[in-house]
């Protein structure tokens, strides 16, 4: 990313309303700041002591909310191409957009593998609480995640929580080049190590493998992957769609020959650039609500 592109992304980011997830105190132990490498990009957020969302409002709202979860291998949160770029495109479609900045497992928290999901659940609850004020439909809340953010989005969709809080049901999940598997030849080693540590138990791996938690209650899914993705193989999306099919859940998968990993909206000269339009069309066709998803 050029200096001017990074500056523009940060300016756009700052325009979003900041909503703290835990204004009365962040649960889960004490935050421990980590040293940043020299020249670390400002659009790749680390040292997240206070998780939050940025709210981006559309000029003409369609009543639907979208929670965006950027990637970063659970080592940072990438707010440029997987945050503000997507927010800008989706607010243009009428969506009220929230971009999540969640805690990172390596920054001192107790139960490090759970803090990001805890934040995602809290974000979803807040979106429900704010629906009346924002004029959004509480039955039209969607999530989209990228790379490790796709893992977190899939975890949120398949492990919605214990029902202790009044949290809206997700209407759909969009997973864009998601991390799903922790198998060595399929998953992303850095994401797995960051989330689960060096030697996770089989039970820990199973708990954090979203495909294993797909059920009749899992919301419809829209999946995108490039076949030349060397960082997160397309088999991750195939694993997830097979689980959706086995559970009888609606799902749509788009595989593109080129695109690599972390393409965000996608290069203008490649067909993968079409994915966002396909996603918006899919959402319109489904007009997905939990009670009608079958």
pLDDT, position 29 = 83
| Residue 178 DSSP class | -
Question: What burial class does residue 30 get, using C-beta atoms within 10 Å of its C-beta: 0-12 exposed, 13-18 middle, 19+ buried?
Answer: exposed
Contact 234, 258 (CB under 8 A): no
Q: Which residue has the tokens 């769609």?
A: 241
Low-confidence ranges of the chain (pLDDT < 70): 162-166, 288-294
* Spatial distance between the Cα atoms of 250 and 226, rounded to a whole number of angstroms: 21
Q: Does domain 51-286 correspond to CATH entry 3.30.70.260?
A: no
Q: Is 266 helix (H, G, I), strand (E, B) or coil?
A: coil
Contact 151, 78 (CB under 8 A): no
Beta-sheet strands, E only, within 105-179 = 141-146, 172-176
Of the candidates 260, 215, 263, 212, the one whose C-alpha atom is nearest the C-alpha of residue 239 is: 212
The domain segmentation of the chain, as residue ranges, is 51-286
Question: What burial class does residue 101 get, using C-beta atoms within 10 Å of its C-beta: 0-12 exposed, 13-18 middle, 19+ buried?
Answer: buried
Q: Is 234 helix (H, G, I), strand (E, B) or coil?
A: coil
Mind listing the pLDDT tens digit for each residue in 44-54? 999 999 999 99
Question: What burial class does residue 283 get, using C-beta atoms within 10 Å of its C-beta: 0-12 exposed, 13-18 middle, 19+ buried?
Answer: buried
């Amino acid at each position: 990313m050029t200096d001017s592109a990074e500056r523009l992304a940060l300016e756009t980011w700052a325009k979003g309303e900041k909503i703290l997830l835990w204004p009365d105190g962040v649960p889960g132990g004490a935050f421990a700041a980590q040293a940043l490498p020299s020249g670390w990009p400002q659009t790749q957020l680390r040292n997240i002591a206070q998780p939050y969302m940025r709210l981006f409002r559309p000029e003409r709202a369609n009543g639907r909310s979208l929670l965006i979860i950027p990637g970063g291998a659970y080592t940072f949160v990438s707010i440029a191409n997987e945050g503000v770029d997507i927010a800008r495109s989706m607010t243009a479609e009428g969506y009220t957009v929230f971009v999540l900045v969640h805690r990172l497992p390596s920054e001192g928290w107790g139960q490090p593998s759970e803090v990001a999901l805890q934040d995602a659940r809290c974000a979803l609850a807040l979106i429900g609480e704010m629906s009346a004020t924002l004029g959004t439909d509480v039955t039209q809340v969607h999530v989209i995640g990228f790379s490790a953010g796709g893992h977190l989005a899939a975890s949120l969709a398949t492990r919605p929580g214990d029902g202790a809080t009044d949290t809206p049901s997700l209407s759909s999940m969009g997973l864009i080049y998601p991390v799903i598997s922790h198998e060595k030849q399929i998953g992303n080693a850095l994401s797995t190590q960051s989330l689960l540590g060096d030697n996770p138990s089989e039970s820990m791996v199973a708990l954090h493998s979203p495909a294993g938690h797909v059920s009749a209650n899992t919301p419809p899914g829209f999946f995108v992957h490039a076949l030349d993705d060397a960082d997160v193989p397309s088999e991750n999306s195939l694993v997830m769609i097979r689980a959706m099919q086995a559970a009888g859940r609606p799902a749509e998968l788009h595989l593109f020959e080129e695109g690599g990993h972390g393409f965000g909206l996608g290069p203008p000269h490649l067909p993968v650039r079409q994915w966002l339009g396909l996603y918006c069309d899919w959402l319109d066709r489904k007009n997905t609500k939990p009670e009608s998803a079958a």
